[in-house]
């Protein structure tokens, strides 16, 4: 950019200097030609009847600035030999002008070793008048102006180089900053760096500033994603340690099986199997949680109610001692939602599993009540799962959806604390939200988990089936 800008300005500077020089040279020469014409006119007026000869007193070249002579057309009738007697050179073109076969012309010559400009024009019939003026002064002036213009042009080129460098530096400074930040991020792999914006407040940001802003936004997203992944890995490695230790203990115990009684061996083998299943479940959950977005190709529009019924039936199978009830508000039977059925089933299973597991804590609870209805807006579907267990303590509420979070009372029960984190992730991926609340003891106590804002679609006119994704 510096080179391009410098070249452009330099070309203009050189062009202008050259044009100025050409104009000065033309003006000086033109002035000399005017003087010659005038001298010729004077010579004609004063010596109109003089014979072909050097016009007396006029050709003392060094003494007088002008010099004139009359030359006949026919050399045979010339009283002077061409090389001798004339001060100004006489050649065939001069004779041709005298004879009238050539137009008057200006030329340059030397007289007495000095540069001169000469006009050859017709004098009387058959003779030509040669007038010369010394031109050393003019030549000096032209040379001086050439030197001056060359110096100006060179200064212009230098200035152009400086300007080009300055313009490119100022114009490209934000790009340099952007590049430096990108290079820093590449070198350190740390996405916390940001481009500092230097846009004046209140002024419209230029393209580079906007590019920097977009870059920062991209870095924000990247940083969040990297931080989330790091947390997940840190949490996972921490949480996997305990079950792995237990597994190893049991495995070591079984390795020395010969020293155990039959009953001890069976207990250890049973514990090992159970722990392995739990660990497998946990690793599977982790893998699902680590997956940031839902696979878009699986998004479809389907009826919600059969999916809920299916989930409740499955839960009854898993928890034979637990009663489950399903209540549906009018109009929800045909309501369609858009999403991935398998993922929503997973969400429901997690909620039902929790309700059955924690609802039974503290003795005989009550049924797990599942309700499908419409939210306050009347458009979005709402689904709630309520149990009659101990409910959720206020201090646990803000952390319930954190990965690996388990309330103190839940520690004795199986589980890894990933169920609700995954459930909320699935809910959010479907544009909905999952909230937990404790039911007041006046209403029977227990916990209620509500899936809100699940966008329903009126069944009429809509074709159920695969559609392009709306899932974020
Ligand atoms: N219905 C409920 N009643 C009371 N507490 C609950 C209920 N549901 C969840 N919790 C509390 O929230 C915690 C987190 O639930 P989450 O489902 O994430 O984990 P988990 O059920 O313990 O383990 P996992 O689901 O991974 O097997 C639970 O440990 C429990 O303390
Ligand atoms: Mg759970």
Q: How far is the CA of 349 from the centre of ligand 1 (A)?
A: 12
When the pLDDT of each residue in the chain is averaged and rounded to a whole number, the result is: 84
- Among protein residues, the one with the nearest Cα to ligand 1's atom 5 is 392
CA 122 to chain centre: 77
Nearest C-alpha neighbor of 367 from the set 383, 353, 356:
356
Quote the tokens at residue 342: 């398998």
Q: Which residue has the tokens 């840190």?
A: 234
Q: Which residue has the tokens 């590449």?
A: 186
Nearest C-alpha neighbor of 34 from the set 106, 112, 124, 103:
106
Q: How far is the CA of 470 from the centre of ligand 2 (A)?
A: 28
Question: Which CATH code fits 2-142?
Answer: 3.30.450
Q: Which long-range contacts does 186-193 make (Cβ < 8 Å, 24+ apart)?
A: 191/219, 191/222, 191/223, 191/226, 192/223, 193/219
- Among protein residues, the one with the nearest Cα to ligand 1's atom 28 is 406
Q: How far is the CA of 117 from the centre of ligand 1 (A)?
A: 111
Which regions of 91-154 does DSSP assign to beta strands (E)? 105-111, 114-122, 127-134
The answer to whether 385 and 447 are in contact (CB under 8 A) is no
Q: How far is the CA of 411 from the centre of ligand 1 (A)?
A: 10
Return the pLDDT at 293. 66
Return the pLDDT at 50. 64
DSSP 8-state symbol, 54: B
Q: How far is the CA of 232 from the centre of ligand 2 (A)?
A: 18
Q: Measured from the CB, is residue 406 less than 6 Å from ligand 1?
A: yes
Q: Which atom of ligand 1 is nearest to the CA of 409?
A: 31
Q: Which atom of ligand 1 is nearest to the CA of 420?
A: 18
- Give the count of beta carbons closer than 10 Å to the beta carbon of residue 340: 21
Q: How many CA atoms lie within 13 A of 386 on its CB side?
A: 19
Return the pLDDT at 458. 57
Return the pLDDT at 150. 92
CA 264 to chain centre: 67
Nearest C-alpha neighbor of 156 from the set 367, 378, 323, 7:
7
Question: Distance between CA atoms of 168 and 170, rounded to whole angstroms?
Answer: 6
Return the pLDDT at 44. 78
Question: Distance between CA atoms of 93 and 51, rounded to whole angstroms?
Answer: 20
CA 306 to chain centre: 48
Query: Which ligand lies nearest the alpha carbon of 407?
Result: 1
Return the pLDDT at 369. 95
Question: Which CATH code fits 207-290?
Answer: 1.10.287
The answer to whether 150 and 141 are in contact (CB under 8 A) is no
The answer to whether 303 and 336 are in contact (CB under 8 A) is yes
Helices 304-318, 341-359: crossing angle, 10 deg rounding: 40
- Give the count of beta carbons closer than 10 Å to the beta carbon of residue 174: 20
Distances (CA, A) of 43 to 120, 124, 221: 12, 12, 95
Q: How far is the CA of 376 from the centre of ligand 1 (A)?
A: 27
Q: Which atom of ligand 1 is nearest to the CA of 417?
A: 19
**What secondary structure does DSSP assign to 169-203, as a single string?**
HHHHHHHHHHHHHHHHHHHH--TT--PPP-PPTTS
Annotation: CATH topology of 297-466: Heat Shock Protein 90 (3.30.565)
Q: Measured from the CB, is residue 365 less than 6 Å from ligand 1?
A: no
Q: Measured from the CB, is residue 400 less than 6 Å from ligand 1?
A: yes
Q: Tell me which residues of the chain have a pLDDT lower than 70.
A: 48-66, 81-85, 198-200, 292-296, 363-364, 457-472
Domain with CATH 1.10.287 in the chain: 207-290
Our CA dihedral for 194, 199, 204, 205, rounded to 10 degrees, sits at: -40
Q: Measured from the CB, is residue 447 less than 6 Å from ligand 1?
A: yes
Q: Which atom of ligand 1 is nearest to the CA of 389?
A: 3
Nearest C-alpha neighbor of 414 from the set 368, 343, 356:
356
CA 277 to chain centre: 49
Domain with CATH 3.30.450 in the chain: 2-142
Q: Measured from the CB, is residue 425 less than 6 Å from ligand 1?
A: no
Alpha helices in 256-386 (DSSP H): 262-290, 304-318, 341-359
Mutate to test the pocket of ligand 1, among 360, 406, 438 (most ligand atoms within 8 A of CB): 406
Q: How many CA atoms lie within 13 A of 53 on its CB side?
A: 10
Quote the tokens at residue 420: 């609700």
Burial zone of 434 (CB within 10 Å; 0-12 exposed, 13-18 middle, 19+ buried)? buried
- Among protein residues, the one with the nearest Cα to ligand 1's atom 8 is 354
Q: Measured from the CB, is residue 387 less than 6 Å from ligand 1?
A: yes
Quote the tokens at residue 54: 């050097």
Domain with CATH 3.30.565.10 in the chain: 297-466
Query: Which ligand lies nearest the alpha carbon of 415?
Result: 1
């Amino acid at each position: 950019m510096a080179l391009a800008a410098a070249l452009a300005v330099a070309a203009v500077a050189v062009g202008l200097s050259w044009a100025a020089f050409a104009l000065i040279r033309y003006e000086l020469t033109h002035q000399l030609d005017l003087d010659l014409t005038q001298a010729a006119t004077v010579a004609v007026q004063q010596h109109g009847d003089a014979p072909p000869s050097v016009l007396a007193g006029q050709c003392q070249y060094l003494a007088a600035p002008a010099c004139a002579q009359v030359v006949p057309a026919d050399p045979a009738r010339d009283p002077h030999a061409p090389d001798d007697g004339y001060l100004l050179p006489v050649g065939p073109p001069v004779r041709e002008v005298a004879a009238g076969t050539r137009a008057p012309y200006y030329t340059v010559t030397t007289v007495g070793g000095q540069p001169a400009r000469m006009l050859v024009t017709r004098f009387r019939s058959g003779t030509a008048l040669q007038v010369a003026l010394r031109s050393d002064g003019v030549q000096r002036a032209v040379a001086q102006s050439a030197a001056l213009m060359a110096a100006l042009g060179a200064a212009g080129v230098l200035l152009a180089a400086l300007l080009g460098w300055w313009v490119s530096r100022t114009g490209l400074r934000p790009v340099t900053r952007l590049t430096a930040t990108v290079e820093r991020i590449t070198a350190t792999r740390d996405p916390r760096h940001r481009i500092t914006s230097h846009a004046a407040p209140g002024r419209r940001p230029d393209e580079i500033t906007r590019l920097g802003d977009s870059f920062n936004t991209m870095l924000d997203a990247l940083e969040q994603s990297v931080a989330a992944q790091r947390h997940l890995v840190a949490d996972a490695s921490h949480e996997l340690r305990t079950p792995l230790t237990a597994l190893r203990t049991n495995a070591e115990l079984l390795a020395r099986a010969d020293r155990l009684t039959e009953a001890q061996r069976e207990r250890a083998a049973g514990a090992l199997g159970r722990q392995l299943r739990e660990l497998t479940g946990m690793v599977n959950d982790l893998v699902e949680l680590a997956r940031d977005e839902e696979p878009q190709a699986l998004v479809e529009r389907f009826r919600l109610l059969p999916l809920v019924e299916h989930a409740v039936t499955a839960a009854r199978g898993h928890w034979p001692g637990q009663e489950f009830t399903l209540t549906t508000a009018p109009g929800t039977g045909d309501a369609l939602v858009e999403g991935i059925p398998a993922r929503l089933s997973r969400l429901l299973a997690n909620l039902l599993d929790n309700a059955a597991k924690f609802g039974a804590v503290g003795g005989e609870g009550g049924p797990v009540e599942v309700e499908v209805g419409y939210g306050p807006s009347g458009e979005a579907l709402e689904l709630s799962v309520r149990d009659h267990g101990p409910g959720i303590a206020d201090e646990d509420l803000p952390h319930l959806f954190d990965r690996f979070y388990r309330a103190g009372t839940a520690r004795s029960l199986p589980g890894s604390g990933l169920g609700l984190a995954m459930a909320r992730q699935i809910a959010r991926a479907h544009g909905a939200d999952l909230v937990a609340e404790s039911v007041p003891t006046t209403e029977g106590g227990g916990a209620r988990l509500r899936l809100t804002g699940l966008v329903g679609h009126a069944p009429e006119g809509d074709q159920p089936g695969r559609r392009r994704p709306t899932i974020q």
